[in-house]
Structure 1
Amino acid sequence: MTQGSAPPLLSLRGVVKSFGAVRALTDIDLEIRAGEVVAVMGDSGAGKSTLVKVIAAVEPSDGGAFSWKGREVQLTRPQHSQNLGISAVYQNLSLCDNLDVVGNVFLGGELRRFGVLDELEMGRRTRALLDTLSIRIPDARAPVASLPSDQRQIVAIARALLREPDLLLLDEPTQAMSTQQTNKFLDMIERLRDRGLGILFISHTMGDIKAVADRVAVLRLGRNNGVFNVHTASQEMITSAITGATDHAVAHRATE
């Protein structure tokens, strides 16, 4: 994990988000650094997916402060996050089943040459991107609807990585994967971290968190309930923060 004196890629301070009378996030603090995987855990309704959407600015926060590489920024529109270098992959993946792999990777950012789609260049870039992920999809021209769940997830991640982001947000990426598929996926996450990406990884599976994360932030009822060093904190300690047996577990906050 890359630490040093460089400021975090992204810092959140006192971030809040409400939907009508329902407070989804309250006073959220979080830091993510380059070359680091930060996991987020919590029960259903804890605010995990809302946190991803707030950072990606598809659901802008109602208050709080954001800093990007030490500079305060506004995240009020998705373009703001994208321009900074933040890409997100959501649970629903937002793939078009009727398009092939290449079409989905370049969806909304198609390349044109002399006014027509440059299918050759998009295909070349898609295959090169998949090669860098060390993930094999046999036919990049296959309809996405025909792909298994792990390959569909890879297509969504390839689209997110096309912009060469500094920070990748992943919301429950292994939820529909088999054990073998998950292991390959976690290997890919480690390779992305080794390349210097910051990764926010939402998961409900402790084994996945222990395998790939550096720190885990626990949300409970939309609030911070501890940030733990994955390598030193016990599974019981993290679980207690998730269930609320340990309340506001700041005593176990990971040291930077």
Structure 2
Amino acid sequence: MFERLIQKRPRIDIALSAIDKARLKLPILDLSRLFPHFDETPVTINQVPLGQWSAPLADVMMLMKLVACAKPMTMMEVGSYRGFTALMMARHAPTGAHLTTVDREPQHGEAYRTLPEAAMITRRVCEVTTEAFAGDAPGSYDLIFLDADHSYAAVKRDSEILLPLVKPGGYLVWHDYGNWGKFSGHNGVPEYLHELSATIPVAVVAGSQLGIHSPAWGHAQAAAFKDALVDEGLFPDPWASEVARG
């Protein structure tokens, strides 16, 4: 009853979620410590997607920086919607890269379907199920971006299906690791990632709402992962800090 009430009143959900200051507790990862030329690597944004479900530009730019620096040859976006993020991923990927986009909406991908980038993108219309991904070999993707159903149960299901598909040196990125949707049940990304982080290395990308994991961080690149973590004190409250704002 309470959850249904909150779902009809999103402002109440936002206010209640904001009270839980300790909800976001993943370690913070600075991508510039993993990629030497991260800060200097340019990102081009041609269009500014508008609409309720459009990803914030800070998240989009951070994801594009990751694509440009990690240079993934095989990518997947799960929860593609209109396809603006997919289009930008294709534009920032290296020559010869391929992107698979997955969405249950048959018309997904309107942003790129008439453009040259469509040649490097394969569209799949399906729900996220074990059967739908049975044809994907384990460890076949350099980068997977998950931005589909954000409920706890869905994020858990999708992640368990997608994690085995990530290459040993690849990345799985979750969108909307943010303090909203807790009481309505619309966003269980934080809760799931906190549980997952007890078994594998998971962090939030500094300056974004992107959760991230690489299988290599548990083995060959464990030290690099640890060295890339930063203290939350590096991002103080500008209104509470005596540091000049600029």
Which TM class, normalised by the smaller chain length?
0.3 to 0.5
Higher strand share: 1
In the superposition, the TM-score normalised over structure 1's length comes to 0.36
